[in-house]
Structure 1
Amino acid sequence: MRQVATNRDRTAYEQLFDVIAPRLQGQLSRLGLQRTEAEDIIQDVMVNVWVKAGMYLPEKGSVFAWVFVMARNLRIDRARKLRPQVLMDFSEYDEPDTAENPEEQTLRYSHLSALKIAMDSLSAEQREIYDLIFREELTQHEIAARLNLPLGTVKSRMRLAQVHLRKSMEKSS
């Protein structure tokens, strides 16, 4: 392995291949792989041995252990790629009915009508703040700057408007 890593010695690589390949073949066969699958994995492992020989660290384990870990990882990767994907045919199912039923529609219109009446009953200053929040999507700070008001005044008007709207909506329910 050292000769392959440092000198790219082809003779040393061939010798390594001759020792490792049969052992890998036996190990992969015991794991239930077909001969062609095992040969593909062995080929990939041996290419990795050639390319990554410099990464082998003898103090971490034997050459065989390093090679067998590579083979195991490749086998797992291949199994994941070949795992059948479960595809569902949704053509037989109806689309969900998203249309409102008449009761829901009536209730929604009733709530919208009550909200419009409640909004119309706000003071002009409170309605102006709500318009800036919901139509122009301004923050409280931006509203204060635009209307040249203190931030506390904007917050107070919002709070009073919320209380008024809540009471109006509770009365209409």
Structure 2
Amino acid sequence: MQEDDSEGKNVTAAADLTRDRQKRERETWTKVLASLAETRDKRLFAELFGHFGPRIKAYIIRLGLPAASAEEVTQEAMLSVWRKAHMFNASKASASTWIYTLARNLCIDRMRKEKAVEYELPEDEVDPSPRHDGEHAILEQRMKTALGTLPEAQAQVLFLSYYEGKSHSEIAEQLGIPLGSVKSRLRLAFDKLKTHWEAQ
């Protein structure tokens, strides 16, 4: 009986630690987004892009969009984060909740467009404006240029993580490298991307 109690306490303690870690992580990214809203610092945006980009793409794929469309919606979502950061209110939502909501809304818009026969837009819903297409194209080109500056090993893991939505363990298995190497390559890649963005 004592052993069962001990195991139960260990499980509870582990769950508490996980919740605490997740809470700290949410608070950290909320502070980063709030700072971006105030400063428009491209380095902060690069951090948000690096963290949320792969997660948003995987989320959109789970919602039902194919990988190619999910990639486009992810880029639109992260561009919306940049454009609408001033609208973020940390007292109403965490950064992750706010960003995922943006992504979900864009995903629904895309699904409605791609399945116009099955979905009908309400009359009072305004179609997304194309006025930011130029800004989107510039940002996309800058990101491609930044990715081109990375060593091949780092670019490879970044591509598999962001563009293909693979987990760290899946990447490690595919490339035949330790999980720690995947994480360190991604960390180095994001550091280089931040340095590149600083120079812009």
Which TM-score bucket, shorter chain as reference? 0.3 to 0.5
The structure with the larger Rg is 1
What TM-score does the superposition give when structure 1 sets the normalisation length? 0.47
What TM-score does the superposition give when structure 2 sets the normalisation length? 0.41
Higher relative contact order (CA 8 A, sep 6+): 2
